[in-house]
Every structure is written in C-alpha cells, then in structure tokens.
Amino acid sequence: MTGDGSRNKLHEGKAKIVWDAGDGTYVVEFKDDATAFDGKKRGRIRDKGRCNNLISAALFELLEREGVPTHYVRTLSDREMVVVPLEIVMVEVVVRNVAAGSLAKRLGLEEGVPVAPPVLELYYKSDALGDPMINRYHVRALGLASDEEMDRIEALALRVNDVLSRAMADCDLRLIDFKLEFGRARDGRILLGDEISPDTCRFWDAATNEKLDKDRFRRDLGGVEDAYEQVLRRVTAAAPTWRAARPAVSGPAQARVYITLKKTVLDPQGAAVENALKALGYGEVSGVRVGKVIILDLAEASPERVEEMSRRLLANPVIEDFTFEIVRGTGARSHSVPV
C-alpha cells in the first residue's frame, strides 16, 4: 500500500518502508522485495511482506510478555505494524546457536555444528561498508552507543535468544541464529526494533533440518514462498499457547491490576524517578515507568471479567496499558494483557 496522504515516508529500505504516522508513532510496511549478498542478488518473494509482518508481530508480543521491551505497538494490517519511533543504534547484534553462514566460513566450522554457549557478534550497520564485524572497542571509538547501552543491548539479545529458542521449539523449528536491531525511544529507553522473521533468522525444521528461511532464496533452494508460509503457520498455531494460560480461580481471590502509561506516551514522573535513582548511583536502572495498582477483592475471579473491568473502566485504553494478576492463597498467576 502507499501513503494515505497524511503519512510521511521516512525511509524506504530493501525490505520495509517506514512511515511517520503523524501521531507520535511510526508505521512499518513490509514489502515482498528480497535482496541478498549486499544487494547483489535481488528478487521478490510472493507474500513475504505479509508473513514477515505477522511473524514479527507474534514474536514481539511474546518477547514483550517475557520482559523484553520492543517497539511493537499493534498490527495495522496484513503488511503493516504500528511501532514506537526509535533512533536506531547503528550496531546489529547477531546471536548464534549453531554454525551457519559467515560463522561457518570464517571459523572453518561445519554448518550445523552447535556453538555453545551462544556466540554474540556485533556488526556496524553501514550498507556502504558492507556491514563489517566490529567489537565493543569499535563501538566506543565510533561513538555508536554508550557502554551502559551496549551492556543492556547484549543482555536483551541473550534473553531474546532464550525466549525465542524455546518458542521455536514449540513450532518444531530450531533457532540457528538471528540478527537484531535496537534503538532509543524518546525517553531514552532501549527497545528492540526492526523485525524478527525468516529474513533475519535462520530456522531449520526440528525433524529434518530443512531450511525454512531466507537461505532458500540466497542459495536458490526453491520453495521460498512455502518456507515463509510454513513459519507463519507454525507461529500462528503456537501463539495461543504462549499467551498466559488463564484458568479461572475458584472461590475468593484478589485481582491486582497494574496500570502504566503506554510506551508511546511520555512519562515525566518515571523519567524524574529514573534520573533521581541514577543520581544516587543506581546506574543499572535503564528505565522507570510510574503507574498505579488497583486491588480488587472478588468472591469469584474470572480472568476474562478482570480484563473486561480493566479495559472498560480501570485503565484508559487511549493512554494506558494494564497487566493483572489473580492471587489466591499464596499462589499468583500473572496475566499480561496488551491493550
């Protein structure tokens, strides 16, 4: 699709177009265009844009629920998602669990040999230079990010690896390796950005080791469209099991509803607390959101009804997000509800 007139095209890349929606959010539009080998190989993969958008959305939602802050706000259409505007950190982070691609070539490892513990690599995001591999000294010398930001980015990347490796196992896929991009939101928080798809990850079928990712295009293996559709189908089938299980709690229970400003809304109180904590020497604090807790005593607790109450009255869905947990006795179940 093209702009609706009120949108402003900010960037047209090889795989996506970034639009300024004019309301403090960006829209990322996923294209069918495919490139490989620094743009030397070009083509189109039918419906890749739809697959990558919907796969990314499901994985961002999962990561968010698992405590990894992402730029994902909501899905706008089959090919578009609304995201938080980021100042992209020009360092691409690659995490590898199994030797493949450039790692296999550079270190003389046979493709398919596990590398443990996982290997984390940094690349300078520069098309003109062919995205050269760099290390933390280069990041410092080029002023690409602060040490604190890189510590946070590397910790998040490894957490993403843990969460995605487990989730992909639910899809009968092996997560071989993947590339992430992070960015700074307006409030300075580091969020995971860009996309998570067969364009940016290597996925192999768990039973056959068949490649179900962009390597099919890179290496002319055929069945390219099918591979993207296959990953989307498997992710879509597994996604409901990733959403927190919500068994009703029988008997008296307590619901605790946590309300915070949406991440697209500036939180001046959170920023003030963060600055004050840092001034007191708590440098490990990389983000603070201030919100409120509403505690409901219930004769009978249905997660669906607590969600409904939160949505209809307790939270303002225009500017606030909520999560809740239902507690009975000493046990607590936490339900994360993206609004």
Ligand X SMILES: Nc1ncnc2c1ncn2[C@@H]1O[C@H](COP(=O)(O)OP(=O)(O)OP(=O)(O)O)[C@@H](O)[C@H]1O
Please report, as ranges, the residues that interact with ligand X according to CB under 6 A: 11, 13-16, 18, 26, 71, 83-86, 88, 125, 127, 181, 183, 193-194
- Nearer residue to ligand X within complex by CB, 125 or 328: 125
- Nearer residue to ligand X within complex by CB, 142 or 245: 142
Sheet with strand 182-184: strands edge to edge: 87-88, 182-184, 190-192
- Nearer residue to ligand X within complex by CB, 10 or 113: 10
| Closest to 267 in 3D by CA, of 325, 209, 320 | 320
Least spacing, CB of residue 290 vs ligand X, in Å: 24
DSSP three-state, residue 92: strand
Q: How far apart are CA 33 and CA 311, in angstroms?
A: 39
Least spacing, CB of residue 256 vs ligand X, in Å: 31
Least spacing, CB of residue 328 vs ligand X, in Å: 40
Q: How far apart are CA 66 and CA 263, in angstroms?
A: 16
Least spacing, CB of residue 90 vs ligand X, in Å: 9
Residues 48, 231 contacting (CB under 8 angstroms): no
Least spacing, CB of residue 191 vs ligand X, in Å: 7
Return the bridge partners of 182, or none: 192
- Nearer residue to ligand X within complex by CB, 61 or 307: 61
Least spacing, CB of residue 116 vs ligand X, in Å: 29
For ligand X, which residue has the nearest CB?
A: 13
- Nearer residue to ligand X within complex by CB, 177 or 194: 194
- Residue position matching structure tokens 């490989």: 36
- Nearer residue to ligand X within complex by CB, 41 or 292: 41
Cis status, amide bond into 117, omega within 30 of 0: yes
Least spacing, CB of residue 127 vs ligand X, in Å: 5
**Residues 114, 195, 265, 308, CA torsion sign:** negative
- Nearer residue to ligand X within complex by CB, 183 or 303: 183
Residue 222, phi-psi category: left (phi > 0), alpha (psi -120 to 50), beta (remainder):
left
CA contacts within 13 A on the Cβ side of 60: 28
Output the six-digit token pair for 254.
Answer: 């307590």
Output the six-digit token pair for 207.
Answer: 């039973």
Looking only at the bridges linking them, the beta strands covering 16-20 and 253-261 are unpaired
CA 42 vs. chain centroid, Å, equals: 26
- Nearer residue to ligand X within complex by CB, 193 or 270: 193
Least spacing, CB of residue 89 vs ligand X, in Å: 9
